[in-house]
Amino acid sequence: MPDTKRFIDLLNFIRSETDRHLQKLDFPEEPAFLYDPIRYVLKGKGKGKRLRPLLVHLSGRGFDADPEDLMHAGLAVELLHNFTLVHDDIMDKDDIRHGKPTVHMKYGQAAAILVGDSIFTLGQLNIEQVQTNTIQATHAYNKASLAVCEGQAYDLQFEGDTTVSLDQYLVMISRKTGALLSLCAELGGILGNQSHEVCHKLHTFGLNLGRAFQVQDDILEIFSDEENLGKSLESDVAADKQTVLTISARKHDGWDEIKNLTGDISAKRERMQSFFIETGVEARARQMSSNYITKAMDSLSVFSGEHKRAMEQFTHFVLNRTH
């Protein structure tokens, strides 16, 4: 499909430009305590997918936004994302990220806290450089940052709390995953000088994309065949993390028994898969994700022509990452 090829080429182009600009960020040698781990996060091998800058650029191109503005905003959201990963990894006690030791494992916890703080500040130094609607862009950036902190706080607060409802879970993922994707889509509109109404629709698009993404993530955690996605099952289940599946499973007989299974993790995973399928928990979760995708797609009416098509393709690209 030439259309698909053109889209993939576009993604690769934006991604390589983003990486090139990240490589160009000029850090001093000293203090090495701070800048060695910052280089490790931002310039090391095993890079991220740059989904968030991609969304900023695709959204902004739909409104003919200035490419330099989009680059600054794309870097700002990627830096914000990396800041949250570095700090979340400390809080969640995760050892590995993108196949490499996490910052706190490699450089110690004090360094990791400072690295997160500094990468967030680097993000701020980028968002303030956009020339179009600077204050509106900065405000959206800061509101999203606070929402992401709230989302992570809910996530930690909900750990081990088996009274958490599906509504509470949805509030959590709307902040933790939705707020940043909302920001990315909205920044395209802000930098493209769009009305409050259009920006709001873009925000809604990102929010529902984020919800669909997170619900799907919960499903893949249990149902993906890929090793890398299954890796954190043990720690998540051990921590009694709330997912769309475990919350829905609670009202079905037999869940407690499965949840408390010890021993072989693969065997436990298979029992959970069967349980989620037999009780309809998995089907309902897939339906929920599908509903959010539909809502997201509805908001794409603010785009037209090839740009609308690109945003639709991006949505599929994000959500069809693996099965």
Instruction: Identify which of residues 89 and 218 has a Cβ nearer to a second copy in the complex.
Output: 89
Query: Do 221 and 230 touch, CB atoms closer than 8 A?
Result: yes
Among 124, 193, 224, 232, binds a second copy (CB under 8 A): 124
Asked whether position 128 contacts a second copy by CB under 8 A, the answer is yes
**Residue 235 binds a second copy, judged by CB under 8 A:** no
CB of 153 to a second copy, least distance (A): 4
For residue 102, the SS3 value is: coil
Q: Considering the rule CB under 8 A, would residue 120 count as an interface residue with a second copy? A: yes
Query: Binder to a second copy among 117, 217, 306, 312 (CB under 8 A)?
Result: 117
Chain centroid to Cα 42, Å, comes to 17
Q: Which one of 109-117, 238-246, 272-280, 281-289 is the stretch in contact with a second copy (CB under 8 A)?
A: 109-117
Instruction: Please tell me whether the peptide bond between 37 and the residue prior to it is cis, using omega within 30 degrees of 0.
Output: no
Cβ-based burial of 93 (10 A; exposed 0-12, middle 13-18, buried ≥19): exposed
Judged by beta carbon, residue 161 or residue 298, the one nearer a second copy is 161
Q: Which of 21, 43, 48, 149 binds a second copy (CB under 8 A)?
A: 149
Q: Which stretch binds a second copy (CB under 8 A): 5-13, 121-129, 180-188, 303-311?
A: 121-129
Among residues 4, 8, 32, 195, the one that binds a second copy under rule CB under 8 A = 32
If one asks whether residue 18 binds a second copy (CB under 8 A), the answer comes out as no
Rounded-to-integer distance, Cα 42 and Cα 47, Å: 8
280 CB neighbour count, 10 Å cutoff: 12
The token pair at 260 is 């408390």
Comparison of 134 and 224: residue with beta carbon closer to a second copy: 134
In whole angstroms, give the CA distance from residue 180 to residue 148: 7
Our finding on whether 288 is near a second copy (CB under 8 A) is no
Return the range that interacts with a second copy (CB under 8 A); candidates 64-72, 115-123, 183-191, 225-233: 115-123
Cβ-based nearer residue to a second copy, 148 or 249 = 148
Nearest to 182 by CA among 132, 216, 145: 145
Residue that has been written with the tokens 């902190």 in this structure: 149
Residue 280 lies near a second copy (rule: CB under 8 A): no
Q: What ranges in 102-193 are assigned the alpha helix state H? A: 103-107, 109-127, 134-158, 166-173, 179-191
Binding to a second copy by residue 34, rule CB under 8 A? yes
When asked if residue 150 is in the footprint of a second copy (CB under 8 A), the reply is: yes
What distance in Å separates the CA atoms of residue 208 and residue 178, rounded to the nearest whole number? 7
Neighbouring-strand partners of residue 100 = 97
B/e letters for 35-44, b = 16+ CB within 10 Å, e = fewer, are ebbbebbbee
Q: Is 146 in the site for a second copy (CB under 8 A)?
A: yes
16 binds a second copy (CB under 8 A): no
Q: Which tokens in the block code for residue 290?
A: 């599908």
Using CB under 8 A as the criterion, which residues of the chain lie in contact with a second copy when the complex forms? 30-34, 83, 87, 90-91, 109-111, 113-114, 116-118, 120-122, 124-125, 128, 134-135, 138-139, 142-143, 145-146, 149-150, 152-154, 156-157
